[in-house]
């Protein structure tokens, strides 16, 4: 019964949601764009004013709120649970001083009291037994906002079934699965936690999230990429100052930063609350430390000074901001690629989400019958001013226009809807000459391939590099086959046929489960069939291992 009620509820929501989409207009909506730097600075500032407090249950909130309110002004509260079903409150205060005042009242676990204790913005609230009801009336005005959990797959597919058009399905998938505000806040809290710990050892350290956590293409539960870098303080480099700190000269042959990252890994093991399963991968071109953060259930990759990765995230974010169709379309493509096992959570000879995203951006740069959707990267470079100059490590020039308000509006912006775009995306790559041509968002048109690698996608910031150099011939062939299959599937919808697996459903459903699902539907109202088991997204893919590929 409750399932039916939930379904009915979601059906009603879906209908009104879809109605709102019918009037969607894709042409230039005058909008004041924030820059990436502004967004990041605001999130970092928010993290400095926040604490993550572990509580016994959601009902501890009132007591916690009252406790904090006697020391500070609570601005906002979010509740979430980690994978161990432990409860946390992400508390945002009015000022950094507020956080300091609350932390002044903190103590250490008894057993850590000597030399082991370390301070961090992750704390634990000791509730007083029997105090829960005492605070009930005081906090009515401040609603606790829930959520760091992935959307329920059953609910998602139920909603997708109810949509009227494929465009609505694509928009629904995006709205329901994109990284939400709590997810973003927690990622910045993790960066803050490391910064607090490391600033006692390093004078100018800054830690930034990058990749899908900030580029606008992240889904709920995506991994957290972190970069550790120098926050250059020019005052401290003033050559007129008389007193200079003694320099620490690193001895030994290995690169100092390899050794610093080794230390960071050890500090994560010994000093960072919640950090577990630390892995140090120090011989890679970019040394990296991987760890799981148990208090937030996030998997993190921390690297050193990879600023070109941050600027790349900025570029992707900008192009996503430029047109409201870019992110929903990319979500549909990324999710489809995962379903057909073109992408895989483990590194290997297959394409990953980042080059796949460049393929979507490139497609949107192609001329359509009624205009373009995205400008080429060259246009952003040509429009750059003095403030946009950025040089990353190893002299990589990352200069391009940062302020989208300065980019002239396109006189002819394509009005194609998401359904048409998704179909044409598959059709475009079904016909693409992968043998001779490279994909390059720099020019926005196919260019001649400089070598015979099966898939060539130009890195826009280091144009001599191919971001899909790892992709094998076999995987590229599968990519070509899958885009053809997807185009055929969508063609049927464009022809007006609405089969059981119409639209996105047929693209996001694993082929191995298709037969099972049909059986389940016989004699049932399909809205009541549980699809959870059939669409389990993170099921281990059945595919060849590297060794098997080598052997063949
Ligand atoms: P998911 O983690 O799969 O959700 O996507 P992601 O965009 O975070 O991709 P990934 O973790 O593989 O890479 C993180 C970020 O590093 C990307 O978003 C890019 O900004 C950047 N990046 C990845 N590969 C390259 C590369 O070859 N060159 C450069 N300069 N940056 C890269
Ligand atoms: Mg990532």
pLDDT at 231: 80
Q: What is the DSSP letter of 138?
A: G
Q: State the distance from the centre of ligand 1 to the C-alpha of 50, rounded, in angstroms.
A: 28
3-state secondary structure 9-61: HHHHHHHHHHHHHHCCCCCCCCCCCCCHHHHHHHHHHHHHCEEEEEECCHHHH
Q: Ligand 1 atom 22: the closest Cα is on which residue?
A: 309
Mean pLDDT (whole number) for 56-76: 90
**Contact present, 428 and 346 (Cβ < 8 Å):** no
Ligand 1 atom 15: the closest Cα is on which residue?
211
End-to-end Cα distance, the chain = 53
- Cβ–ligand 1 distance for 461 under 6 Å, the answer yes
Ligand 1 site, residue 36, Cβ cutoff 6 A: no
Give the separation between CA 164 and CA 153, rounded to whole angstroms.
Answer: 19
Cα 215 to ligand 2 centroid, rounded to whole Å: 10
Nearest atom of ligand 1 to the alpha carbon of 396: 30
Which of the pair, 78 or 552, is modelled with greater confidence?
A: 78
pTM for this model (two decimals):
0.86
Taking CA atoms only, the protein residue closest to ligand 1 atom 21 is 309
Confidence at 30, pLDDT banded by 50, 70, 90: low
Burial of 90 (0-12, 13-18, 19+ CB in 10 A): buried
- More confident call, 513 vs 39: 39
b/e 383-401 (16+ beta carbons within 10 angstroms → b): bbeeebebebeeebebbbb
**What mean pLDDT do residues 252-278 have?**
90
- Residue 438 has what DSSP assignment? E
Instruction: Tell me the CA distances in angstroms from 227 to 71, 296, 301, 529, one per residue in order.
Output: 34, 19, 8, 44
What is the structure's pLDDT at 286? 81
* pLDDT(345) > 90: no
Average pLDDT over residues 223-233: 89
Kindly give the number of the ligand 1 atom that is closest to the alpha carbon of 215.
Answer: 18
Q: What pLDDT does 427 receive? A: 97
Q: Ligand 1 within 6 A of 479 CB? A: no
Name the closest-CA residue to atom 31, ligand 1: 309
Mutate to test the pocket of ligand 1, among 284, 311, 354 (most ligand atoms within 8 A of CB): 354
The whole-angstrom separation of Cα 361 and Cα 354 is 11
- Between CA 181 and CA 186, with CA 183 as vertex, the angle to 5 degrees is 105
Smallest CA separation from ligand 1 atom 4, residue: 212
213 lines ligand 1 (CB under 6 A): no
* Ligand 2 centroid to residue 222 C-alpha, Å: 7
Regarding the beta carbon of 354 and ligand 1, being less than 6 Å apart is answered yes
Query: Quick one: what percent of the chain has pLDDT higher than 90?
Result: 60
pLDDT digits (tens, 9 = 90+) for 174-204: 999 999 999 999 999 999 999 999 988 888 8
What pLDDT is attached to residue 148?
A: 67
Question: What is the structure's pLDDT at 253?
Answer: 66
Q: How far, in Å, from the CA of 312 to the mean position of ligand 1?
A: 8
Specify the length of the chain in residues. Answer: 552
314 lines ligand 1 (CB under 6 A): no
25 — pLDDT class (breaks 50, 70, 90): low
In this predicted model, what pLDDT tens digit does every residue of 232-257 receive, in sequence order? 777 777 888 888 888 888 777 677 88
> What is the residue-wise DSSP string for 402-420?
--GGGSPPPSSB----HHH
| Inter-residue contact 304 to 228 (CB < 8 Å) | yes
Distance 211 CA to ligand 1 centre (A): 5
Between 469 and 117, residue with greater pLDDT: 469
Protein residue with least CA distance to atom 27, ligand 1: 467
Helix or strand run (H / E) with residue 460: none
Atom of ligand 1 nearest to the CA of 343: 3
Instruction: For residue 408, count other CB atoms closer than 10 A to its CB.
Output: 8
pLDDT tens readout for residues 464-507: 999 999 999 999 999 999 999 999 999 887 777 777 788 999 99
Contacts (Cβ under 8 Å, ≥6 apart) of 400? 315, 318, 377, 380, 381, 384, 388
pLDDT of 545 over the 90 cut: no
Specify the higher pLDDT residue, 406 or 535.
406
- Please report which confidence band the pLDDT of residue 357 belongs to, taking 50, 70 and 90 as the band edges: very high
DSSP 47-96: HHTEEEEEESSGGGHHHHHHHHHTTS-EEEEEEEE-TT--EEEEEEES-H
Instruction: Report the alpha-carbon distance of residue 26 to residue 324 in Å, rounded.
Output: 7
pLDDT of amino acid 200 = 84
Summary mean pLDDT of the chain: 84
Query: 271: burial class by Cβ within 10 Å (0-12, 13-18, 19+)?
Result: middle
Q: Give yes or no for residue 356 CB within 6 A of ligand 1.
A: no
Amino acid 473: pLDDT: 97
The torsion angle over the Cα atoms of residues 503, 222, 359 and 375, rounded to 10 degrees, is 100
Q: How remote is the CA of residue 72 from the centroid of ligand 2, in Å?
A: 36
ipTM associated with this complex: 0.96
At residue 65, does pLDDT exceed 50? yes
Hey, which residues does 81 pair with through a beta bridge? 87
The residues facing 448 across adjacent strands are 437
What is the number of other CB atoms lying within 10 angstroms of the CB of residue 348? Answer: 17
Closest CA to 377 of 421, 425, 302, 441: 441
- Pair of tokens at residue 373: 């959707």
Q: How far is the CA of 400 from the centre of ligand 1 (A)?
A: 18
């Amino acid at each position: 019964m409750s399932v039916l009620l939930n379904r009915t509820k979601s059906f009603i929501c879906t209908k009104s949601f879809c109605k709102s989409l019918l009037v969607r207009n894709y042409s230039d909506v005058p909008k004041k764009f924030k820059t990436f730097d502004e967004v990041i600075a605001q999130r970092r500032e928010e993290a400095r004013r926040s604490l993550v407090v572990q509580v016994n249950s959601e009902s501890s909130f009132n007591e916690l709120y009252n406790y904090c309110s006697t020391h500070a002004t609570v601005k906002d509260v979010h509740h979430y649970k980690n994978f161990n079903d432990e409860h946390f409150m992400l508390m945002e205060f009015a000022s950094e001083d507020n956080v300091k005042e609350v932390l002044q009242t903190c103590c250490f676990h008894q057993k850590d009291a000597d030399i082991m204790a370390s301070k961090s913005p992750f704390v634990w609230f000791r509730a007083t037994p029997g105090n829960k009801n005492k605070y009930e009336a005081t906090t009515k005005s401040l609603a606790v906002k829930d959520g760091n959990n992935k959307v329920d797959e059953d609910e998602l597919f139920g909603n997708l079934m109810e949509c009227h058009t494929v465009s609505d399905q694509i928009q629904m998938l995006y709205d329901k699965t994109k990284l939400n505000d709590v997810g973003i806040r927690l990622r910045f809290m993790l960066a803050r936690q490391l910064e607090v710990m490391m600033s006692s050892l390093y004078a100018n350290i800054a830690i930034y999230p990058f990749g899908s956590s900030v580029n606008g293409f992240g889904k709920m539960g995506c991994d957290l990429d972190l970069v550790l870098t120098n926050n250059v303080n020019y005052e401290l480099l003033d050559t007129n100052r008389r007193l200079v700190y003694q320099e620490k000269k690193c001895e030994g042959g290995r690169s100092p930063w390899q050794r610093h990252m080794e230390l960071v890994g050890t500090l994560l093991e010994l000093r960072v609350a919640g950090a577990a399963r630390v892995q140090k991968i120090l011989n890679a071109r970019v040394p990296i430390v991987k760890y799981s953060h148990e208090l937030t259930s996030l998997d993190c990759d921390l690297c050193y000074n990879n600023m070109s990765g941050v600027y790349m995230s900025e570029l992707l974010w900008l192009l996503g901001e430029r047109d409201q169709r870019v992110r929903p379309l990319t979500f549909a493509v990324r999710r489809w690629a995962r379903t057909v096992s073109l992408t895989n959570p483990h590194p290997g000879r297959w394409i990953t989400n980042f080059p796949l995203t460049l393929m979507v951006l490139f497609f949107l740069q192609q001329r359509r019958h009624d205009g373009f959707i995205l400008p080429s990267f060259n246009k952003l470079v040509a429009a750059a001013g003095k403030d946009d100059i950025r040089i990353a490590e190893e002299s990589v020039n990352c200069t391009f226009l940062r302020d989208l308000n300065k980019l002239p509006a396109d006189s002819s912006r394509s009005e194609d809807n998401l359904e048409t775009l998704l179909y044409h995306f598959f059709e475009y790559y079904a016909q693409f000459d992968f043998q001779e041509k490279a994909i390059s968002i720099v020019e926005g048109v196919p260019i001649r391939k400089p070598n015979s690698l099966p898939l060539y996608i130009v890195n826009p910031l280091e144009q001599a590099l191919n971001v899909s150099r790892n992709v094998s011939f076999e995987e590229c062939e599968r990519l070509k086959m899958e885009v053809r299959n997807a185009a055929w599937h969508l063609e049927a919808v464009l022809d007006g046929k609405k089969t059981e697996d119409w639209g996105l459903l047929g693209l996001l459903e694993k082929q191995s489960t298709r037969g099972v699902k049909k059986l389940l539907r016989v004699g049932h109202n399909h809205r009541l069939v549980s699809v959870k088991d059939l669409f389990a997204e993170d099921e281990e893919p059945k595919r060849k291992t590297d060794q098997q590929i080598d052997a063949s």
